[in-house]
Amino acid sequence: MSIRSEWVDLQAGDGTTMRAWVARPESNPRRGLLVFQEAFGVNAHIRDVTERFADAGFSAISPELYQRTRICPTMTPGR
């Protein structure tokens, strides 16, 4: 199945911006799923999981839930 995936910016209720990885099938999705990140953010693994759900026919989104904080010293917020 062909999918499209990309980073999008979401507006939070407090006016801040939160990035999210969105993946969706080219055809009509069956349903939508929210994919929660691990402690290390929306990394390559979480993006891959999100894309695999899209490949199975679901519209999926993985928001960066901790965009306001650093998870570990080697991470940059929002990355």
The predicted-structure confidence for 10-20, as pLDDT tens digits, reads as follows 998 888 888 99
pTM of the full predicted structure? Answer: 0.81
Residue 78 maps to a domain: no
Question: How many domains does the chain fold into?
Answer: 1
**Integer Cα distance of 73 and 71 in angstroms:** 7
What is the extent of the structural domain holding 11?
3-63
Residue 23 maps to a domain: yes
Residue 72 maps to a domain: no
The predicted-structure confidence for 29-59, as pLDDT tens digits, reads as follows 989 999 999 888 899 999 999 999 999 999 9
Q: From start to end of the chain, where are the E strands?
A: 3-11, 17-25, 32-34, 59-63
Return the amino acid letter for 65: L
| Token reading at 1 | 């199945």
**Integer Cα distance of 8 and 22 in angstroms:** 7
10 Å CB burial of residue 78 (0-12, 13-18, 19+) is middle
**Integer Cα distance of 50 and 8 in angstroms:** 14
